[in-house]
Copies of this chain bind each other. A is one copy, B any other.
Amino acid sequence: MIDRPRYTIGVDFGTESGRAVLVDVADGREVGIEVEPYRNGVIDTRLPAPDGDVVLGPDWALQDPDDYLEVFRGAVRRLVAGSGVDPAQVIGIGIDFTACTMLPTTSDGTPLCFLDAYRRDPHAWVKLWKHHAAQPEADTINRVARELDQPWLPRYGGKISSEWFFPKALQIMRESPDIYRAADRLIEAADWVVWQLTGRETRNNCTAGYKALWSAADGFPESRFFEALEPGFGAVVDDKLSRAIVPIGDRAGGLTERAAGWTGLLPGTAVAVANVDAHVSVPAATVTAPGTLVAIMGTSICHVVLAETAPAIDGMCGVVENGVIPGSFGYEAGQAAVGDLFAWFVDKAVPPSYHDLARSHSVSVHEVLADEAAALRPGESGLLALDWWNGNRSVLVDADLSGMLVGMTLSTSAPEIYRALIESTAFGTRVIIDAFEAGGVAVDQVVACGGLPERNPLLMQVYADVTGRSWRVAASSQTPALGSAMFAAVAAGPPIGGHATIEHAARAMAHLRAETYEPTPSHRPVYDALYAEYVRLHDLFGRGADPALKTLKRLRFEALDASNAAETAAR
């Protein structure tokens, strides 16, 4: 038995589907993959049948926890059955999730939305990461935190997002006291899923640290702070959460009989502590030590870098001890619109000829644009953009900023703008790298993963040129699921064929693509000059010296308010 290959399963819970990968523990080979789209997807207009008459407010985004279980009953079962692998050879399973995605449950873990008494209340359902309706609660938290000079605030760039755990929890309490009262537990969906697999509530330190203001050194914020947010909220941690936070890399438990039945795996199979999709990608991109930034590049970019110590860095999203790799501090930073920005451009600002060309060559519009854009020299377009179409996450932490494009002439073309937008996101990345290095966190090289790098070599080369660093690309197209499978191998441990540490797992199971994007020496001076312009405009418009963007935003909201008032009056 010890000579047969060992496998683990990693399950990546995304926004629209769950994706399960069966991986060879020895070398990371991905033996099989199965995807399970969520039946109820993102619930953002009305509750699912039979409660479709319950309409959701703007900015709401819910999910159905049964859709998560279906990933095990469907995708994982098919994966095991279809692989021809003996379930005894599958030594562990690990999961990662979007975050913060959270739900209220009873003390035995039953989601309140499963109960007839509560299911017509939208607050009984899972609040998905992109549920943005808790902005008033986030505003309260940020204001009170500043007033009470909370020591954790600097760890999060001075401001937390409406997407995080406590804004969502506070929204439940304020808007649905019944649900808040009925909720024995408020829990990350990641941890709820592990609870369903193991029969035991286990809370991971990654979501706790990055989304719920927890740290190994200080625990959660004090009760006095929560009570100051809303009378009665002071006991939220002791009443609804848990102060027992388990580090990633640990074994959460073994598969219950019931969960084994869903999946076709053996009861007792090791289950890893849950993780977050971006953070779990880091070891899957081969990175387990300081000095290498991991850029998870998709609609947005999440940047993770490890450090031995935790100096204060301007405008990162968070720093968590043991939050990414046990034994180091994991810093997270972010750019709010990258793939989304290019998608906006293609949808909203590219004329028909490029769409026609793409159709006639059966390629994407992105490829057509990138092809022409690649023929341009740096600086040739005369264009420069500030990439703030969705605000600025790092290092300015300001959602109210907006985009800017400078330098257009009557001969400016779509490929020129496309390249300028790519360059602007690269400049944004360089600002983040510069902030890390200025704060004492080394960034010697970069590994990229996610959807963008493999589709867009021009983008990778521009990023290398602009940042002056080597960029490599993770070999796997499924880095989150691979990372979860790696943590599963660690949870299983060496005695049954797993790995002793995540570093061991990374050495064996994680790989890079052969190609390296090296900075082009002749491009560096031009990009340095353009970057100097970018930084000056970045500081001018982003740090308050010029009020244009704020004024435009204010006038926009006033116009929309006037518009709404006129509509209301007309009714």
Contacts and interface: CB of A to CB of B under 8 A. Distances in A.
A216 interface: no
A58 interface: no
A526 B540 CA distance: 23
A437 interface: no
Contacts of A337: 410
A404 B410 contact: no
A408 interface: yes
A105 to B, nearest CB: 34
Contacts of A140: none
Contacts of A551: 529, 533
A299 B409 CA distance: 14
A70 B36 CA distance: 75
A423 B526 CA distance: 34
A267 to B, nearest CB: 47
Contacts of A417: 349
B553 A349 contact: no
Contacts of A406: 402-404, 548-549, 552
Contacts of A379: 552, 555-556, 558-559
Contacts of A473: none
A196 interface: no
A559 B382 CA distance: 9
A390 B409 contact: yes
Interface in A373-402: 376-384, 389-390, 402
Given A341-B410, A409-B389, A377 B562 contact: yes
A380 B560 contact: yes
A410 B340 CA distance: 8
Contact of A380 (B404, B533, B556): B556
A546 interface: yes
Interface stretch (A91-99, A204-212, A350-358, A485-493): A350-358
Given A389-B408, A409-B402, A533 B552 contact: yes
A203 to B, nearest CB: 34
A348 interface: yes
Interface centre among A526, A555, A559 (most CB of B within 10 A): A555
A408 B414 contact: no
A363 interface: no
A470 interface: no
A477 interface: no
A257 interface: no
A547 B414 CA distance: 25
B413 A563 contact: no
A526 B559 contact: yes
Interface in A325-372: 337, 340-341, 344, 347-352, 355
A537 interface: yes
A510 interface: no
Contacts of A378: 555, 559
B413 A407 contact: no
Contacts of A558: 379, 526
A23 to B, nearest CB: 35
B404 A408 contact: yes
A141 B551 CA distance: 43
A516 interface: no
Contacts of A352: 351-352, 355
A108 B101 CA distance: 89
A380 B548 contact: no
A83 interface: no
A562 B525 CA distance: 13
A556 B382 contact: yes
A530 interface: yes
A539 to B, nearest CB: 11
Nearest to A346: B351
A377 B410 contact: no
Contacts of A382: 402, 552-553, 555-556
A88 interface: no
A456 interface: no
A224 interface: no
A405 interface: yes
A377 B347 CA distance: 24
A17 to B, nearest CB: 23
A384 B548 contact: yes
Contacts of A555: 378-379, 382, 526, 529-530
A536 interface: yes
A223 interface: no
A150 interface: no
A481 B122 CA distance: 70
Nearest to A558: B379
A412 interface: yes
A340 B411 CA distance: 11
8 contacts: A347-B351, A377-B562, A379-B559, A389-B412, A406-B552, A407-B548, A533-B547, A533-B548
Given A347-B351, A348-B414, A533-B551, 15 more contacts: A337-B410, A348-B413, A349-B350, A349-B414, A351-B355, A377-B560, A378-B559, A381-B556, A384-B552, A402-B408, A403-B407, A404-B408, A407-B553, A530-B552, A533-B548
